[in-house]
Structure 1
Amino acid sequence: MFQLRFRYVFMFLLGAYSFLNTLLIETFDYYHVGADKWIIFLLFLAVTAAIWEGNRLWDNWLSKREIKPFWLRIIYNFSGSLLITALAALLLGLPTASYALSKDWQQWVLPMKLLVMFCFRINLFLNTIHVIFLYMQQLELSHQQLETYKRISSQAQLQSLRNQVNPHFLFNNLSVLTALIGQDTHASIEFVKQFSNVYRYILKSDEKELIHLREEIGFIHSYLYLLKTRFDSGLSIDINISEGCLSAYILPVSLQMLVENAVKHNIVSKSKPLHIEILCLDNESITIRNNLQKKKVDDDHSTRLGLTNIAKRYDFLGHQGVSIQHTEQSFSVTIPLIHLKAEP
């Protein structure tokens, strides 16, 4: 609020209004301050400008510190403004009293009391408006963050769905199913079952912001079943998750996106098998790691988008900590587990 473009106009209007209000309630008839009214008018304008500018500089300093939570920022704002107001009253009031009144300082007491009262009223008014302004700004920022999160979440869900319904995925799995039907009826039935589990989970995952890791792992088993059937010995999977991890929460389809990225961007063959590990041993995070044997892909942007969306969704939920480790031999992504307090 203190950064208004035409703030000097508002300073003048506020000071002039305050002086006019003082005249209308006949303050000078009850309190004989002994100074000309034009001097008092100029003093009103000066202290109003000093309080405003002092608050502006103080607010600029606080803004650079990004103080959180919001209520702490308000306390700092108001505490600093009290000191600024007191200094403005003294630094402007005492020289004015010395110039406009007699040299007897005892006659300054009443005018200084009235000036201090006026200054703190101006400061209270300005800070009340400023708090409302900060609150509206914070509310707008919250709305923007919510919309951003919704967009990111939708992009992540859409990206996951696209990965599964693209022609290559369907063609590859239908080719595997065709081969299984002629070889093993039981295996083909199980393949169709796992195939339907994958689509059912993805289509329903947009209904939840978080999901139990136990459910996500169940989905991953179905997804990995399809991959393992397709690549056979070209793909090896190692899932090592402690029981304590399974009760935590995770973003839906986040593990699938990371596994899909590993398969999409690495060579998977019997001569060069891809090893994927899904590890959770500390109850705080889960890691997806694979050996690195890159292949050229048509669209590397989808990988960056997927990882970026996962990180941003965690940031929005207040769980920073998505980390990526890239060496010449391996690539791993670690995402935090979310532990929700049980309802009483």
Structure 2
Amino acid sequence: MFSIRYRYLFMILLGGYSFLNTLLVESFEHYPIITPKPVILLLFIILTIAIWEGNRLLDNFLARLDIKSFWKRISYGFGASVVAVFFTTLILGGITSYFTISHHWRDWILPMKLLLMFCFRVNLFLNTINIIFLYHQQLEKSNQEIENHKRISSQAQLQALKNQVNPHFLFNNLSVLSALIPLDANTSVEFVRQFSNVYRYVLKSPDKEIIELKEELNFIESYLYLLKTRFESGLVTTIHVNKDCQSAYIVPVSLQMLVENAVKHNVIGKNKPLHVEIICLDNETITVRNNLQRKETRDQESTGLGLNNIAQRYIFLGHHGLEVKQTDQQFSVTIPLIRPTHASFFEP
């Protein structure tokens, strides 16, 4: 608020209004002050400018300190402004009184009291307006972050859905199913069941911000069943997640996106199997890792987009620490487990 475009005009108007208000309530008649009225008007305007500009510099200084707490920043700013206004008023008021009233400081007591009252009221008014202004800014920022999260979350869900309903995915799984039907009816029925589980989960997951890891793992097992039926011994999967980890929460379809990226960007064959592991080592994080055997392809950016999408969704929920590691032999992504006090808060 203190850095608004036409602030000097508002400073002069505020100083003039305060002087006019003082005249209308007949303050000068109740408290006789021999200082000429034009001098008092000029002093009011100068002090208003000093208070405004002082608050602006102080507000900029606190902004550079990057104080996270909104109310802590307001408290520091108001407290410091009160001290600054007190000494500024004493200095300017004392100089004015010395030249217009008397050389003796005892004759300044009443004018200085009135001047301090005026300056504190102006400072309180300006800081109140600034609090409203900053609160409105923070509210707009929060709304923007919520909208941004909704957009990112929707994109993640849409991407997951696209991964499952794109023509290649459908064609590959339908081809596998058509090959299974004449060979093994029971396996074909199980394949269809797992296929429906995948779609059911993907269609349901957009309704939730986070989901229990146990549910995500059930979905991943169905997803991996489809992949392993297709790639057979070319894909080797391992899941090591204890029960304590399974009671935690993660963002929906995040594991699926990581597994899908591993399959999409690496060579898979019987003579060169892809090993994908899902492990929980410390009850605080879960890791998806695979041996690195990159395909020769130009389309590598989707992995980065998927990882960024997952990271942004965790940041919105207040969890940082998405960790990506790559060596010549291995690629791994570690995401934090969420243990909310009230998980239902994130669910519809």
Pick the TM interval, shorter chain: over 0.9
Match of 2:306? 306
The Cα of 1:87 is off from its aligned counterpart by: 2.2
Match of 1:254? 254
CA distance in 2, matches of 1:229, 1:64: 57
Match of 1:115? 115
CA distance in 2, matches of 1:3, 1:313: 34
Match of 2:183? 183
CA distance in 1, matches of 2:69, 2:244: 32
Match of 1:95? 95
Match of 2:181, SS? helix
TM-score (norm. length: structure 2): 0.97
Match of 1:7? 7
Match of 1:73? 73
CA distance in 1, matches of 2:230, 2:86: 77
CA distance in 1, matches of 2:116, 2:312: 49
- The code of the aligned residue for 1:49 comes to I
CA distance in 2, matches of 1:325, 1:279: 15
Matching of residues 134-153 of structure 1 within 5 Å: 134-153=134-153
CA distance in 2, matches of 1:206, 1:297: 31
Runs of 5+ consecutive residues of structure 2 not aligned to the other structure: 344-348
Match of 2:284? 284
**TM-aligned CA distance change 1:56 to 1:342, over 3 Å:** closer
CA distance in 2, matches of 1:187, 1:341: 42
Q: Deviations over 1:105-143 (max 9, x none)?
A: 100011111111110000000000000000000000011
Runs of 5+ consecutive residues of structure 1 not aligned to the other structure: none
Match of 1:30? 30
Match of 1:48? 48
CA distance in 1, matches of 2:87, 2:228: 75
Match of 1:317? 317
Match of 2:346? none
The sequence identity of aligned pairs, in percent, is 63
Match of 1:276, SS? strand
Match of 1:326? 326
Match of 2:282, SS? coil
Matching of residues 234-253 of structure 1 within 5 Å: 234-253=234-253
The Cα of 1:104 is off from its aligned counterpart by: 1.4
The Cα of 1:298 is off from its aligned counterpart by: 5.4
Which is further off, 63-72 or 282-291?
Answer: 63-72
The Cα of 1:156 is off from its aligned counterpart by: 0.3
Query: Number of matched residues?
Result: 343
CA distance in 1, matches of 2:100, 2:214: 80
CA distance in 2, matches of 1:299, 1:98: 79
RMSD: 1.1
Question: Is the contact made by 1:55 and 1:84 (CA closer than 8 Å) also made in structure 2?
Answer: no
TM-score (norm. length: structure 1): 0.98
